[in-house]
């Protein structure tokens, strides 16, 4: 009997969440009544995450583990699990129980209605500061506004995908690993289900730090559109026009003998303003150049150290 559903779980220093997560996930899979596999993808850390998962494998033969050669980050770990899964459909979910495992039943049933992707959209987000919520809203709206593909807002990696979508993701070989954008790029028939996101069960998020979230957001913004570069061109032209007009204004004052604009303070203001604009534009261009640099080297998105409890043909 072929595996029907694969559960991909990226983890990094999550020793306090492994067992509580399985305690809630395993009854859900039992209720579905289909052959399953649970794939933990471990970014190596200094805690007992690997040891705990090994103990759970000895108890449940459906649990598997992929251990990365070093810490590659959540996007790469997620892709490693997707590439390594064998199910007819694949669920991506975090281990911290912010995304409820019980919702997998609804996602699975909805996929059976003829969809290739069903993604979970956050209706509320418990346990997060107002600042983080504000940054998330701004980030999602920017990505949605500028992206060349429709990336759903307020949506993380929690979703279910058919085997057809998984095969297409494997072929993309994208270094950014921005799953939300990659799945949107692949296309096919997709829909959403809303849910209320809970607080973390234990510990602090190692993957979802502020800097990590910003980095992932930038991958979404710069990895799926060139509109920021076009914006720089338009903005640069506008600033050039303003500069010429400002220069003409100074010439007119000189010819008419007016002294309406002080010299030194205005000069400093103009120079610092346009210097800031130049640095901003250079930074935007640098983001694209850096991504081109990463892609042309052709290095793998991740490197696997060990695969535990996988069959030879998996």
Q: Please indicate, yes or no, whether residues 141 and 110 belong to a single structural domain of this protein.
A: yes
Q: Please indicate, yes or no, whether residues 113 and 241 belong to a single structural domain of this protein.
A: no
Phi, psi of 70, rounded to the nearest 5 degrees: -160, 180
Q: Please indicate, yes or no, whether residues 144 and 235 belong to a single structural domain of this protein.
A: no
Cα gap 130→288, rounded to integer Å: 31
Helix/strand/coil (H/E/C) assignment for every residue in 234-301: HHHHHHHHHHHHHHHHHHHHHHHCCCCCCHHHHHHHHHHHHHHHHHHHHHHHHHHHHHHHHHHCCCCC
| Higher-pLDDT residue of 196, 239 | 196
User: Is 190 within the bounds of a domain?
Assistant: yes
Cα gap 159→193, rounded to integer Å: 9
Cα gap 93→119, rounded to integer Å: 11
Q: Report the DSSP pairing between strands 304-308 and 63-68.
A: antiparallel
| Higher-pLDDT residue of 26, 286 | 26
Q: Please indicate, yes or no, whether residues 56 and 173 belong to a single structural domain of this protein.
A: yes
Q: Please indicate, yes or no, whether residues 118 and 255 belong to a single structural domain of this protein.
A: no
Q: Judge whether residue 208 has pLDDT over 60.
A: no
What CATH number should be reported for the domain holding residue 81? 3.90.550.10
User: Is 152 within the bounds of a domain?
Assistant: yes
Q: Please indicate, yes or no, whether residues 80 and 145 belong to a single structural domain of this protein.
A: yes
Q: Judge whether residue 58 has pLDDT over 80.
A: yes
Region 255-281: mean pLDDT is 66
Q: Please indicate, yes or no, whether residues 149 and 160 belong to a single structural domain of this protein.
A: yes
User: Is 170 within the bounds of a domain?
Assistant: yes
Cα gap 191→152, rounded to integer Å: 10
Share of the chain above pLDDT 90, in %: 18
When pLDDT is cut at 50, 70 and 90, the band that residue 255 belongs to is confident
Q: Please indicate, yes or no, whether residues 214 and 243 belong to a single structural domain of this protein.
A: no
- Say how many domains are in the chain: 2
Q: Judge whether residue 302 has pLDDT over 80.
A: yes
SS3 101: helix
Q: For 125-173, what is each residue's pLDDT tens digit? A: 665 666 666 666 666 666 666 666 777 777 788 899 999 999 988 888 7
User: Is 245 within the bounds of a domain?
Assistant: yes
Q: For 70-123, what is each residue's pLDDT tens digit? A: 888 888 888 889 988 988 999 999 998 888 999 999 999 998 888 999 988 887
Q: Judge whether residue 210 has pLDDT over 60.
A: no
Cα gap 176→278, rounded to integer Å: 26
Read off the tokens for 190.
Answer: 């997709």
Cα gap 115→161, rounded to integer Å: 9
Q: Report the DSSP pairing between strands 155-162 and 117-125.
A: antiparallel
User: Is 58 within the bounds of a domain?
Assistant: yes
SS3 181: helix
User: Is 88 within the bounds of a domain?
Assistant: yes
In this prediction, residue 74 carries a pLDDT of: 84
User: How far lies 145's CA from each of 153, 167, 171, 244, 254, in Å?
Assistant: 10, 28, 27, 31, 45
In this prediction, residue 301 carries a pLDDT of: 79
Residue given tokens 């940054």 in the structure block? 135
Q: What's the domain range around 194?
A: 5-225+300-308
Strand-pair partners of 160: 91, 118
User: Is 211 within the bounds of a domain?
Assistant: yes
User: Is 193 within the bounds of a domain?
Assistant: yes
| Higher-pLDDT residue of 147, 180 | 180
When pLDDT is cut at 50, 70 and 90, the band that residue 183 belongs to is confident
Read off the tokens for 21.
Answer: 């997560």
- Give Cβ neighbours of residue 292 (< 8 Å, ≥ 6 apart): none
Read off the tokens for 309.
Answer: 């409890």
Q: Please indicate, yes or no, whether residues 159 and 238 belong to a single structural domain of this protein.
A: no
Read off the tokens for 98.
Answer: 């912010």
Alpha helices in the chain (DSSP H): 18-32, 49-59, 74-84, 104-111, 130-146, 163-172, 179-186, 210-223, 227-256, 263-296
Q: Please indicate, yes or no, whether residues 207 and 255 belong to a single structural domain of this protein.
A: no
Q: Please indicate, yes or no, whether residues 82 and 186 belong to a single structural domain of this protein.
A: yes
| Higher-pLDDT residue of 217, 108 | 108
| Verdict on whether the full-model pTM lies above 0.75 | no
Q: Please indicate, yes or no, whether residues 239 and 110 belong to a single structural domain of this protein.
A: no
In this prediction, residue 65 carries a pLDDT of: 92
């Amino acid at each position: 009997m072929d595996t029907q559903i694969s559960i991909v779980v990226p983890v990094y220093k999550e020793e306090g969440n492994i067992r509580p997560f399985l305690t809630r996930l395993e009854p859900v899979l039992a209720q579905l009544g289909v052959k399953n596999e649970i794939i933990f993808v471990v970014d190596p850390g200094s805690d007992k995450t690997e040891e705990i998962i090994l103990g759970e494998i000895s108890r449940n033969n459906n649990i598997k583990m992929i251990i990365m050669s070093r810490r590659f980050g959540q996007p790469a770990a997620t892709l490693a699990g997707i590439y390594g899964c064998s199910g007819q459909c694949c669920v991506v979910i975090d281990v911290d129980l912010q995304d409820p495992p019980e919702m997998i039943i609804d996602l699975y049933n909805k996929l059976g209605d003829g969809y290739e992707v069903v993604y979970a959209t956050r209706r509320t987000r418990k346990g997060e500061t107002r600042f983080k919520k504000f940054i998330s809203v701004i980030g999602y709206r920017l990505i949605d506004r500028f992206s060349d593909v429709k990336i759903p807002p307020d949506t993380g990696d929690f979703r279910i995908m058919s085997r057809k979508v998984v095969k297409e993701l494997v072929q993309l070989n994208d270094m950014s690993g921005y799953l939300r954008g990659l799945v949107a790029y692949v296309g096919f028939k997709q829909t959403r289900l809303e849910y209320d996101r809970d607080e973390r069960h234990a510990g602090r998020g190692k993957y979802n730090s502020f800097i990590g979230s910003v980095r992932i957001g930038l991958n979404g913004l710069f990895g799926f559109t060139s509109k920021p570069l076009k914006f720089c061109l338009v903005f640069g032209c506008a600033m050039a026009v303003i500069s010429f007009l400002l220069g003409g204004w100074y010439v007119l004052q000189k010819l008419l003998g007016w002294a309406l604009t002080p010299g030194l303070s205005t000069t400093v203001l103009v120079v610092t303003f346009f210097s800031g604009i130049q640095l901003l534009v250079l930074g935007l261009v640098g983001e694209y150049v850096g991504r081109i640099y990463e892609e042309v080297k052709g290095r793998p998105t991740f490197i696997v150290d060990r695969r535990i409890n996988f069959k030879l043909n998996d």
